[in-house]
Structure 1
Amino acid sequence: MNKLTVLFVLCCSFCMAQTGIIKGRILDKQSETPLPGATIELLNTESPVGVTTDMNGYYTIENVPVGRQIIRVSYIGFESITIPNVVVTTGKDAVVNVSLEEVFDQLDAVVLDTPTNKDRTINKLATVSARQFSLEEVNRFSGGRSDVGRLAANFAGVSAPDDSRNDIVIRGNSPTGLLWRLEGIPIPSPNHYSTLGTTGGPVSALNTNMLRNSDFLTSAFPAEYGNALGGVFDLGFRKGNIDNYEYTAQVGAFTGVEAMAEGPLGNKQGSFLVAARYSLVGLLGVGAGGTSATPNYSDISFNIDFGTGKFGNLSVFGILGNSDIEFLGDDIDEDDLFSAEDENAFVESGFGVIGLNHRLNIGSKSYLKTIASVSTSTNTFESDRFINKDTPQERIIRYTEADDTQSRFTFSTLFNSKLSNKITLRTGVLYENFNIESVLRDREEQPDNNNDGDPDLFTFRDTDERFGLWQPYIQGQFRLTKKLTLNAGLHAQYTNLNYQFVLEPRTALSYKIAPKHSLNFGFGIHHQQAPLPLLFLNEEINGELVQSNIELDFTRSAHYVLGYDVRIAKGWRGKVEVYYQDIDNAAVEAFPSSYSSLTEGTDFVFDNDRVSLTNDGTGYNQGLEITVEKFFSDGYYGLLTTSLFESKYEGSDGIERNTPFNNGYVFNLLAGREFAIGREKQNVLFFDTRVTFAGGRYFTPVDLEASQQAGYEVLQEDIAFSQQYDDYFRWDLKFGIKINSTKKKLSHQFYVDFQNVTNQENVFVRRYNRLTNNVDQVNQIGFFPDVGYRLQF
């Protein structure tokens, strides 16, 4: 009898071990308030299971078989949604939050059943040139290094043919035109080794395991977004598990060594979520990412939700990161991407943001959301140059020193109200108070006025400046008919740095031609402040250092977009967009030259000799984008994106030139396949691959004779960006296995990501080498295997 009892218990344990949990929250998409009593059904099981949401919109489905499942969410008077490919494992609860849209003609007993639109944004007011991306996509795609910036490079309109950095070039715009937002507020570049004014870096400080589904916008943004010309990453942290404690341990070549914990907090459906990482290459003491030097970086992220009480919902979120690396000339190879053999360089950087998020529901149709945060971004760079290296006359001098700190206090408040099932209004204001402390001294290209035998150490920046930026806005969604929806708004921008004020109308139309076909149009005026490293440059005038760029106006861009969407078949969609961007007020030199601020952003630093600039520069971007996507179903997915575009600018000499970002074309093909394996089909074997073709970047050729005479690189600026690097090609291949435990709440995942499988020698740069006294070509990162392991329990 005892033996039979033991056998029965083991069998029950085995059966229970093959199940997981699906949970989440159901909201009204327009009012963003909970829908109590909504129905959630688990469809692809022998006996369909259904549950309903509680008063706060939460639901839980237990004993769900592992693997990819399908759920349907419905609520009387709302369009129901069918969601496929909910990944259920034994190691972690699957969280699926859903927003339902009220039917246009509200009939009490009618529920329309529509498939989920993964390409639709979280922000209901974003109509064109925008898409949603998920944590599952970031971790699934090969070559992505669990980096949202590199994930975006797979989308139409995005070009990123630089393996050493995750800069995002959107429709030919400089990467400096990108806006990063976290939990609704602008943040500095969330990357390790970032520098003042840049938006990318070699390694992301964003832990993708912390992210919820988020939005990526590439043009004609809604009115709540400002101070950006190129694109918006609108990110959000997910909440921790409100019912159970869960843990994750992970290791990867680029993401590093990681530990994460989450669980319930208090008795008001609060939770905590915290994760910390440290670089694996730093622990091993090896180089990575195109250098033989050892990069050290670490970060910690958290989101603490105190639950909902009578005074609303309160949460605290944040990221803290730091990084450092030492380039010692004796240990540097001649083809190092970031350093030289005749100098020692020391780099330190830091990034941090801490915010307080409060939301108060006002009735059942409105809410007030307020966020206050502080953030900082720091970078120091020191380089010592060897003079007459490896000779009896060898000596070393301080050649460059930079110390930049950008701190800001941000306050944002918005009021959202669903006036009816046809009209939703949102209004708010964003205020940012900046404090910029920046020092830059450099000997590069400087004369020897003090006759000590070395170029003078000139102070290009030395500022401690405070200024404010205000951005009020109002916008609305108007469902004019069942087929026609209008999103329109007005954004304003004012800075007290030089007392500029601008108004920016935004509008977008979506017309549903047929159930599977729709047309979209978007228009918007957008402004962005001149890059901070340019604004605070010094110019020596009559023996005094003067910030001659401080009065630069906002750069202006008008965006026009026309798009067509089609549901090709079940699980397939196609999208075509054409766009034009007209840019003016760019910063150019006061005398005829090829320079424009539109060409900045190709490196860690900005030009430091561009002073007395004026706002007379112009430019344009135009192109065609095609997307064909097979959403994950039947065990596989596919994504094909093609971008054909042109990016041009004019400096003060009035000559039209290519921008350095005018690659001309980008082609991406991604595909993946999963196979259920094991006796109970509880485990998964997966394969993913990506192929990228892109035109090479344009560059300004080196004047070799002038460089040899000067001892530093001199470019032929009269023919700026007239030559193009060879086309870019890269093939990545990833495979791995997911194992669900048969005995406990535990899952494993192991993968190998072969990046640049063919070891293609893509060009990084052609630059003057002062040691070889020649123009040398340096190639990007070759074949690199990224290996990772994840444990969830």
Structure 2
Amino acid sequence: MKIKPTNYILVILFMLVLGPLWAQQPTQTIRGTVRDVDSKAPLIGVNVVVKVPGPLTGGVTNEQGNFEIRNVPVGKYDIAVSYIGYQSKLIPNVIVTSGKEVVLSVEITESITELEGVVITSNEQTGEVLNEFSTVSSLSFSMEESSKYAGTFNDPSRMVTTTAGVIGGGGSDDVENEIIIRGNSPRGLLWRIEGVEVPSPNHFTDQGASSGSVSIISSNLMSTSDFFTSAFPAEYGNALSGVFDIKIRKGNSEKREYAFSLGLIGMDAAMEGPFKKGGGSSYLMNYRYSTLSVLNDMGIELVDDALPIFQDLSFKVNIPTQKLGTFSLFGIGGLSKETEVTKGRLSSGEDGDLLKETFTSDLGIVGLNHDVMLNDKTRLLSVLSFSANEVSFTRDVSISRSNTIRVNNEDFVDYSSRLSVALNHKFNAQHLFKGGFIYSYLNYDLLSQVYSNSERMLVDEVNNEGNTSVVQGYATWKYRLSGNFVLNSGLHFTQFMLNNQRSIEPRLNAKWFLDDKQSLSFGFGLHSRREGLATYLVEMSPQSDVPPVALNKDLDLSKALHYVLGYNYFFTDNLSFKAEAYYQDLYDVPVIDNSYYSVTNAKKGFTGFELVNKGTGTNYGVELTLQSFFDQNYYFNTNVSLFQSKYIGGDGVERNTLYNSNFVANVLGGYDFDLAKNRSLNLNVRAVYAGGQRYTPINEEESRRQGMAVYDLSRIYEEQLENYFRTDFQASYTLNYPKHTLTFKLEIQNITDRSNVREIVYSPVLQSVDVKRRGQILPIASVQVKF
């Protein structure tokens, strides 16, 4: 079903003519906390000024580091933070609405005084990471950004694909929210929430995968979070390609607030507030329910012959105490199910369901966080978490309406308990130390069965339950040699107790400010990652009368050496140019001996074959970014990445990886129109152009002869799908009433109606190669109210 362009115009005009009828401009409160960036100690007496027209508007932090500024008119303002002995900080374009208080968490850096007594200061720029031990291949994202970018579904996973060197969906699939970093498999990504490793927090995620279809975490909950694409700091382990370190914001501790949105793909409801006014404790809860049946009824199918249904619930409870620090309880949970039915003529001659595939993926994570200042320079952060993840898949083939054979049955259940303890100590303005350990206790109950034609029944590939553990430790040191040079060094240790494989990993990164406009950065690190537990425990019996043995129990960790060199230049405080060159050397990669197969090309699932650590790989490239941070009502980001991604399998031959698309370019931007004191119109656009994903060509003649797809294994990953292109548009119209904010949003994905190639398959019915495409114009309208 096609929706007429005139309908879009009518919707936009309808939103524009809606307007409030009052004369008084609504106001709101800006509150927050100011802390030392290194020690995290609250700072007393910090000046916080909101740059509004007219008389000076601001406040001063109290002994808890808190400030409050009341009766700020709605609008966008810069906020200046200054403190004697510390570098001044400017927080640009803070959006103030009537429906929700603005709660800020601000961290400022202590200045270094040289022998001559000169204090060197620098302005921190938007996009710098929260992690104080990173200087290269890293950036931060806020909740406001995730809701602003076009084409992201408010999904953090899709949001980071707008950055240089990152491709989503494999460069061919608009449904998957894969995060492919610098030509690496998406499985190489580490997910962390509130400081602890978690399974992939996505709906429809598979065993061993790091992606799915849409994130379980709503952008309503996400605080400013860090994303790393290479040479990450020493505290991060079990990652080869990148790290997404997500923080959940605290609920409002002074006022109860609510948000509700309704759109074509579902509903989203959030609530937050204090347990007791003035007590300091708060709660935050968000629930989403989504089904694509509405879009299907409109004739728009995101997934062929399938209907995905999902829902999720997330929360955080924050309880500060006077002497024992702050306790917080957090959790996320998601349920997702997809059933795909292929209809046709059965072997019995009847019409019916030829094939039925059912996939479910359920996830639950709960954690207890304790944050305490032992003194004004030492902080202890402890996290205890528990997660449960169940992934199941069945495939049923019908011979007749009354005779159905189950040919695949998988049920993977993982239970994980983790304890993470980190100690942060600031010796002085120049020296900062952080060290800690992470203990993961992993329980598993794994079942994978395939149908055996000879035995006429399902036989086990994996049928194992038990437990194992992983021990990690790290130490890292930050040295500010002067106000313009920073050096971070560290060491990470990992031991996988299932087979006692271990890895000792040095990390180093540095940043040199050449002057107040430009800087050089360097990063180096050795990183490792283990496979999903099912891969280690896949079993095979050498003879029918011999008990099965685990084929890959002694498999070593995959490893990668990362090298990064970067240059950053600020034309103005808000306009910057960034260039990074990188080289990655992968080794000890699991492969099938004497075969082209390597886990480097694996997206998800487990490998049911015997593997050896003979594989290698290389990724290298350059990334260029020109970015204007939000200023004067607009922003833009233009970036391009050129790269190569190669691997060597068990046969010793070097080939392209599946993800060697060679290039990706992004252009995104937006503009805010202040229509009146209480109304605004925001327009955003994003375009992505990328090389196609690699594939192995089909031998069409041999496929016709055998009646099934036969691939030309002499040309593994030599061919590419056609280049991928998509443009998304988003318009939002916001009205600030005295007690609530109303936002209408219209998002048009793939506005050019581009149909991208998803995959190339062999069709036994057509007896020829069939090019599968996906992509059509997709309008998504929604309305949100905050009060």
Q: CA deviation at 1:719?
A: 2.0
AA aligned to 1:575 is: K
2:698 maps to which of 679, 702, 710 = 702
2: CA distance, partners of 1:723 / 1:288: 28
Residues 128-527 of structure 1 aligned to structure 2 (within 5 Å):
128-160=136-168, 161=171, 162-254=173-265, 256-266=266-276, 267-281=278-292, 286=297, 288-330=301-343, 342-387=354-399, 395-443=403-451, 448-450=453-455, 457-527=458-528
2:635 maps to which of 634, 637, 650 = 637
AA aligned to 1:372 is: L
1:777 maps to which of 735, 749, 771 = 771
The count of corresponding residues between Structure 1 and Structure 2 is 753
AA aligned to 1:128 is: V
AA aligned to 1:702 is: I
TM-score normalised over the length of structure 1: 0.92
Question: Are 1:165 and 1:202, in contact at CA under 8 Å, matched by a contact in 2?
Answer: yes
2: CA distance, partners of 1:619 / 1:739: 53
Counterparts in 2 of 1:324 and 1:599: CA distance versus 1, 3 Å: same
2: CA distance, partners of 1:406 / 1:229: 22
Counterparts in 2 of 1:125 and 1:369: CA distance versus 1, 3 Å: same
Q: CA deviation at 1:109?
A: 11
1:648 maps to which of 624, 646, 649 = 646
SS in 2 for 1:361: strand
2:574 maps to which of 561, 571, 579 = 571
1: CA distance, partners of 2:363 / 2:515: 48
Question: Are 1:125 and 1:487, in contact at CA under 8 Å, matched by a contact in 2?
Answer: yes
SS in 1 for 2:722: coil
Question: What stretches of structure 1 of length at least 5 have no aligned partner?
Answer: 1-12, 333-339
Q: Give the corresponding residue for 1:335.
A: none
Q: Give the corresponding residue for 1:786.
A: 780
AA aligned to 1:553 is: D
1:626 maps to which of 624, 627, 633 = 624
SS in 1 for 2:112: coil
Counterparts in 2 of 1:706 and 1:530: CA distance versus 1, 3 Å: farther
Q: CA deviation at 1:605?
A: 3.4
Query: Does 2:677 correspond to 1:667?
Result: no
Question: Are 2:256 and 2:274, in contact at CA under 8 Å, matched by a contact in 1?
Answer: yes
RMSD between aligned residues: 2.2
2: CA distance, partners of 1:527 / 1:712: 38
Q: CA deviation at 1:341?
A: 6.6
Q: CA deviation at 1:713?
A: 3.6
2:735 maps to which of 712, 720, 739 = 739
SS in 2 for 1:92: coil
1: CA distance, partners of 2:47 / 2:708: 69
Q: Give the corresponding residue for 1:546.
A: 549
Mean alpha-carbon deviation: is it higher for 297-306 or for 47-56?
Answer: 47-56
1: CA distance, partners of 2:312 / 2:460: 33
Question: Are 1:329 and 1:343, in contact at CA under 8 Å, matched by a contact in 2?
Answer: yes
Counterparts in 2 of 1:442 and 1:768: CA distance versus 1, 3 Å: farther
2: CA distance, partners of 1:307 / 1:283: 43
Question: Are 1:665 and 1:695, in contact at CA under 8 Å, matched by a contact in 2?
Answer: yes
Residues 97-108 of structure 1 aligned to structure 2 (within 5 Å):
97-105=105-113
2:612 maps to which of 594, 614, 635 = 614
Question: Are 1:80 and 1:111, in contact at CA under 8 Å, matched by a contact in 2?
Answer: no
Query: Does 2:77 correspond to 1:72?
Result: no
TM-score normalised over the length of structure 2: 0.92
Q: Give the corresponding residue for 1:5.
A: none
AA aligned to 1:39 is: N
SS in 2 for 1:150: helix
Counterparts in 2 of 1:328 and 1:439: CA distance versus 1, 3 Å: same
Counterparts in 2 of 1:605 and 1:768: CA distance versus 1, 3 Å: farther
Counterparts in 2 of 1:634 and 1:142: CA distance versus 1, 3 Å: same
Q: CA deviation at 1:38?
A: 0.8
Q: CA deviation at 1:252?
A: 3.1
Counterparts in 2 of 1:210 and 1:560: CA distance versus 1, 3 Å: same
CA offsets 1:507-536 (integer angstroms, 9 cap, x no match): 001111111110000000001113434222
Q: CA deviation at 1:457?
A: 3.2
SS in 2 for 1:127: coil
Q: Give the corresponding residue for 1:10.
A: none
Counterparts in 2 of 1:769 and 1:378: CA distance versus 1, 3 Å: farther
CA offsets 1:614-667 (integer angstroms, 9 cap, x no match): 101100000000111001111110001111000000012111100010010000
Mean alpha-carbon deviation: is it higher for 201-210 or for 274-283?
Answer: 274-283
Question: Are 1:258 and 1:275, in contact at CA under 8 Å, matched by a contact in 2?
Answer: yes
SS in 1 for 2:698: coil
SS in 1 for 2:199: coil
1: CA distance, partners of 2:106 / 2:587: 41
1: CA distance, partners of 2:119 / 2:735: 38
Question: What stretches of structure 2 of length at least 5 have no aligned partner?
Answer: 1-20, 346-351
Residues 19-98 of structure 1 aligned to structure 2 (within 5 Å):
19-98=27-106
SS in 1 for 2:76: strand
Counterparts in 2 of 1:459 and 1:709: CA distance versus 1, 3 Å: farther
SS in 2 for 1:514: coil
2: CA distance, partners of 1:366 / 1:217: 26
CA offsets 1:181-227 (integer angstroms, 9 cap, x no match): 00000000101111110000012111110010000000001000001
Question: Are 2:25 and 2:73, in contact at CA under 8 Å, matched by a contact in 1?
Answer: no
- Percent identity over the alignment is 35
